[in-house]
Amino acid sequence: MALPNREIPLKLELRGITKRFGDLVANDHIDITVEPGEVHALLGENGAGKSTLMNQLYGLLQPDEGQIVVNGEPVVFRSPRDAIAAGIGMVHQHFMLVPVFTVAENIALGSEEVRGGPLGWLDRRRSRRDVIETSERYGLPVDPDALVEDLPVGAQQRVEIVKALTREVDLLILDEPTAVLTPQETDELLAVMRSLTAMGKSIVFITHKLKEVKAIADRITVVRRGKIVGTASPDTSEDELAALMVGRAVSLEVAKTPAEPGRNVLKLAGLVVDDDRGVRAVDGVDLEVRAGEVLGIAGVQGNGQTELVEAVMGLREVRAGSVELDGESLAPLSTKQILRSGVGYIPEDRSHDGVVKEFSVAENLVLDMYDRSPYGNAFKRDLGSVGSNARERVAEFDIRCQSPDTPVGTLSGGNQQKVVVAREMSRPLRLFIASQPTRGVDVGSIEFIHGQIIHERDQGTAVLVVSSELDEVVGLADRIAVMYRGRILAIVSPDTPREEIGLLMAGITGTGGDAPEEGTK
Amino acid sequence: MSTATVEETSVVVAPEPFWTRQRRLGLTLVLIGLLAAVLFGALAPSEQARFTLSDDAEGAALSINGQLGAVLFGILTIVAGGVLLAGLAKRRQTALLGLGILTFVLSFLCWQVAGKFMPLVDTTSGTMQLALPLILGALAGVLGERSGVVNVAIEGQFLMGAFAGALVGTMATSVWAGLISAAVGGLIIAAILAVLSIRYLVDQTVVGIVLNLFALGVTGFLYERLMQNDASAYNEPPRLPEWRIPGLADIPVLGPVLFDTNLLVWVALLLVVAIHFGLTRTRWGLRTRAVGEHPTAADTVGIRVRGLRYLNVLMGGLVAGIGGAYFTLVATGSFTKNMTAGAGFIALAALIFGRYTPFGALGAALFFGFAQKLATYLSAVGSPVPSQFLNMLPYLATIIAVAGLVGRVRAPAADGLPYVKS
């Protein structure tokens, strides 16, 4: 492979890149040009083929057709090593950091500084110095001696960026970099991206978040179902971008009327829950959810939301405090009893806890009621009514599948989620809990699921929505509880400025002295 | 990334619970110390316990009144536990734990040896010899598991090594040919393990168990068909020579153990040091650990995950094969059916009890070797304590280690998981 000239700024062209997995065409003749010093946004829904494309650019996958051209020279990347050598680096959505290694070890890994010939004795001092140098040069503070597993997510991301930069890359691929960040951390990241492009680096920014694209991108390429469906400039409106991305006009706003809250349905008092490792995850939460309202829990993932919901559902032991549904304690009940006492539940990890992938759509739709009339009794199942129920639900919830007998695992994420929503909403409910209801779901389905949640609210059900997407919480909720490190820091109205909620999510409650430093916005 | 976030949360949210691991440990030590001081002290006759520096009852000896010793060392165990329990000396946790266990063992010895004598040289060199295959087997495990491949086939590698060493050693009438063949024997089992688990993604534990049975069957069959019929042609290998280093060998107790012995002792100890520094200080080690912890991360920086795993499993096979040579070329001088008798599983226990580290494995292997040696001693002097209790110790210790009662043992994160490029 001819090494491209590294002296001139890197210009990247993808020409006719095609990648197939069996019958599925993940990338269909993709042409993209990334100019030096620009932020090129690759916008598309989950499953549109963005990550597949970037994995080919980074040498993790090889294209079936097409060419990667760097500064006019066609190149072939057989492994990430080749891509790095050509000046291309990547920050993956799920960080590629070894948790038990130090920052310096992680950054050195794969291109270690060694002395002593064949033994490959690590030169740790030089690795440390390299890290410090790069970190200072680009204004990305990282502590070379910290263990990665001790670092907050934002800092881990900085480590990933520094890791790419120490390899002297000129083009940086950021794959959904803001998915795990607080709004403040997102702003900081955008600032970093600006300063990197000012130094002549180019950035490919993969995302499905329209606001960020508009804030930072110089050019936007929209991908849908493996094809480029258009390019846009940053002044294109969000609605237009969304329409391009989804393929039809979508409404980004959740349409709803003001809530008419009634009695208290769910009441948590002094709730204390531990996580899997026995560490306190929920630390004395008091919360009430009323009939006919949506209470949204905002917060960066991992601040106890998961454990809180699992405790309510009887999936996790309550250490202290109480959980009451209409004044009755849920603590002594099994999860099955809780579900049947009128609680609907969308678990956050759909593929683990929401559906049985090998089971058919019809079976998944009655997972909660398979042994109850009309679907069966203690001895036999009534497949006829299982089937007719499935046909009704499939039509009602617009579940796109070949037939109700197809395994759920073959459906798209959005349709799998609709199966879960359809099942949980087919019981009479007093309380509906939706945890990350639209994670990994296409925009079209998001719209539909949001509509269903509001519909459930309007029927007088108490709704608890947990989401790490602030937009989603703001759009759905009538009241927002911000959770941070196991506590509810505040309950605010959805009209509260986003900055304020963002600060709360970062654990900053004061309005005065604790504000972040200037210039991060 | 959620785990990392939780990690961060835990630091702040969780108020340190009172019963930390350190305190639980301390409490355990206090309790067993009490047991030692009261029970061993009461049972021990008030006679001299003599630990002789030579091999017989005469000559220089360290001696102490058995009853006094049992009580005294028991009290020391209580003190060590007490310091931990009081939450003092957070830094010296491991040292205090070691002290506690040591004094407990000494208390036990004082009781058992009171009125008798225990030859120290014989005990230590016996410990070293019994630990020898365990060290090598556990090191083989370290090599594989740190790169993410579970190796429960150490037993099979031992057997194959022992068999090949005896067979080729006899036929070539060369102990060195035998030693090399033993390594190759281990390598063959390792190669099958590697191909099946890395290339064909078969469950690594299942492959390991099958390989153990395979090795048992093949060597047993060939032993009956070949070796039993004509032992002098196939099953009388020369033994590894013992070398005495003048000067150093005269150091009391340790001299005869380390410097008047066979080559394998040095090989094993050198390998412990080499693998320790290899893992922590070299490029190979950093990459091996990365591949064992987070193979995808290693792949994205251009490290060949499968290649490195092959390399490590195969190297482990060589080391375990040499461990197998101990049985035929050092200990007995001939092969018998199933002669390793579960030593490979004790080596596996040493690996886990030693927290997947070379020095940990060494310590655990020596501890288990000592337990076995002590079992022989106790049955020889007619102790009321059944020797089976001591033979059970490795397994008991492993259960305790795995259950997390004495410090949590954490395997490499990707241990046992085949790597498939997505």
Does residue A487 lie within any of the structural domains? yes
My answer on whether A119 and A242 are in the same domain is yes
My answer on whether A336 and A302 are in the same domain is yes
DSSP string, B266-304: HHHHHHHHHHHHHHHHBHHHHHHHHHHH-HHHHHHTT--
Nearest to B107 by CA among B75, B62, B61, B60: B75
Could you give the CA distance from residue B105 to residue B112 in angstroms, rounded to a whole number? 10
Say what the pLDDT of residue B191 is.
97
Q: Show which residues on chain B lie within 8 Å of chain A, measured between beta carbons.
A: 1-15, 281-284, 286-287, 289-290, 293-294, 296-303, 413, 421
Does residue A390 lie within any of the structural domains? no
Say which of A80, A100, A302 has its CB closest to residue B293. A100
My answer on whether A297 and A235 are in the same domain is no
Does residue A362 lie within any of the structural domains? no
CB contact under 8 A, B9 and A110: no
CB contact under 8 A, A151 and B4: yes
Pairing, β A227-232 against β A65-70: unpaired
My answer on whether A188 and A258 are in the same domain is no
Handedness of CA A496, A497, A500, A504 (dihedral sign): positive
What distances in angstroms separate CA A413 from CA A345, A394, A409, A445, A454, one per listed residue?
17, 15, 9, 9, 21
- Report the CATH fold assignment for B121-405: ABC transporter involved in vitamin B12 uptake, BtuC (1.10.3470)
My answer on whether A118 and A261 are in the same domain is no
Query: Could you tell me the mean pLDDT of each successive run of 10 residues in chain A, 521 residues long?
Result: 58 92 87 93 85 90 93 91 92 91 94 82 92 92 92 89 92 87 85 91 90 91 90 89 84 83 94 87 94 93 91 93 93 92 92 90 91 85 91 91 88 88 93 91 85 94 92 93 93 91 84 40 33
CB contact under 8 A, A280 and B13: yes
Q: Does A149 contact chain B (CB < 8 Å)? A: yes
My answer on whether A275 and A192 are in the same domain is no
Question: Which of A91, A98, A150 to probe the B interface (max B CBs under 10 A)?
Answer: A98
My answer on whether A472 and A487 are in the same domain is yes
Residues of A with CB below 8 A from B15's CB? 280
Does residue A377 lie within any of the structural domains? no
Annotated domain spans of chain B: 21-115, 121-405
- Closest chain B CA to residue A157: B1
Q: How many CB atoms lie within 10 A of CB A451?
A: 14
Say which of B9, B13, B290 has its CB closest to residue A109. B290
- The interface predicted TM-score of the complex, written ipTM, equals 0.84
Residues of A with CB below 8 A from B6's CB? 275, 277, 279, 281, 302
Task: Among A230, A246, A262, give the residue marking a domain's end.
Answer: A246
Check: CB of residue A345 under 8 Å from CB of residue A427: no
Q: Write out the residue range of the structural domain in which residue A485 sits.
A: 251-342+428-521
pLDDT band at B311; cut points 50, 70, 90: very high
For helices B21-35 and B93-113, the axis angle rounded to 10 degrees is: 10
Say what the pLDDT of residue B53 is.
80
- Closest chain B CA to residue A483: B9
Residues of B with CB below 8 A from A58's CB? 300
DSSP string, A41-97: EEEE-TTSSHHHHHHHHTTSS--SEEEEEETTEEE--SSHHHHHHTTEEEE-SS---
Query: Number of Cβ pairs closer than 8 Å across A and B?
Result: 133
Cite the DSSP H helix spans in B36-65: 41-43
| Mean pLDDT for the stretch of residues B275-281 | 95
Could you give the CA distance from residue A189 to residue B186 in angstroms, rounded to a whole number? 52
Average pLDDT for chain B:
88
For residue range B178-218, list pLDDT tens digits in order.
Answer: 999 999 999 999 999 999 999 999 999 999 999 999 999 99
Question: For residue B384, is pLDDT > 50?
Answer: yes
My answer on whether A213 and A269 are in the same domain is no
Q: Give the minimum alpha-carbon distance from B111 to chain A in angstroms, rounded to a whole number.
A: 41
Report residue B87: phi and psi, to 5°. Answer: 80, 15
Residues of A with CB below 8 A from B289's CB? 98, 100-101
- Closest chain B CA to residue A111: B301
CB contact under 8 A, A121 and B294: no
Say which of A60, A122, A156 has its CB closest to residue B286. A122
Pairing, β B48-52 against β B117-119: parallel
Upstream peptide bond of B241 is cis (omega within 30 degrees of 0):
no
Cite the DSSP H helix spans in A199-237: 210-216
CB contact under 8 A, B413 and A100: yes
Q: Does A448 contact chain B (CB < 8 Å)? A: no
Question: For residue B407, is pLDDT > 60?
Answer: no
Task: Among A212, A246, A280, give the residue marking a domain's end.
Answer: A246
| B27 Cβ neighbours under 8 A, 6+ residues apart | B81, B85
Say what the pLDDT of residue B16 is.
57
Q: Does A237 contact chain B (CB < 8 Å)? A: no
My answer on whether A190 and A147 are in the same domain is yes
Does residue A166 lie within any of the structural domains? yes
Does residue A379 lie within any of the structural domains? no
CB contact under 8 A, A80 and B10: no
My answer on whether A141 and A237 are in the same domain is yes
Q: Does A95 contact chain B (CB < 8 Å)? A: yes
Q: Does A100 contact chain B (CB < 8 Å)? A: yes
Question: For residue B7, is pLDDT > 70?
Answer: no
- Closest chain B CA to residue A163: B301
What distances in angstroms separate CA A253 from CA A210, A212, A394, A473, B182, one per listed residue?
13, 17, 25, 12, 72
Check: CB of residue B286 under 8 Å from CB of residue A122: yes
Question: Which of B1, B303, B421 to probe the A interface (max A CBs under 10 A)?
Answer: B1
Question: Which of A100, A102, A123, A303 to probe the B interface (max B CBs under 10 A)?
Answer: A100
| Mean pLDDT for the stretch of residues B388-400 | 78
Could you give the CA distance from residue B54 to residue A128 in angstroms, rounded to a whole number? 53
Helix or strand or coil: residue B55?
A: coil
Residues of A with CB below 8 A from B284's CB? 120
Residues of B with CB below 8 A from A109's CB? 286-287, 290, 297-298, 301, 303
Residue B389, both tokens: 């209790």
Domains in chain A, number: 2
Could you give the CA distance from residue A281 to residue A275 in angstroms, rounded to a whole number? 5
Amino acid at B299: D
Residue A375 burial (C-beta neighbours within 10 Å; 0-12, 13-18, 19+):
buried
CB contact under 8 A, A180 and B413: no
Task: Among A226, A246, A266, give the residue marking a domain's end.
Answer: A246
Say which of A94, A119, A275 has its CB closest to residue B282. A119
My answer on whether A184 and A320 are in the same domain is no
Tell me the CATH number at A150.
3.40.50.300
Helix or strand or coil: residue B148?
A: coil
CB contact under 8 A, A279 and B6: yes
Q: Does A139 contact chain B (CB < 8 Å)? A: no
Q: How many CB atoms lie within 10 A of CB A76?
A: 13
Could you give the CA distance from residue B85 to residue A49 in angstroms, rounded to a whole number? 57
Does residue A386 lie within any of the structural domains? no
Q: Between residues 395 and 434 of chain A, which touch chain B (CB distance below 8 Å)?
A: none
Q: Give the minimum alpha-carbon distance from A103 to chain B in angstroms, rounded to a whole number.
A: 13
| A494 Cβ neighbours under 8 A, 6+ residues apart | A296, A473, A474, A475, A477, A478, A479, A480
Amino acid at B144: G
Say what the pLDDT of residue A205 is.
94
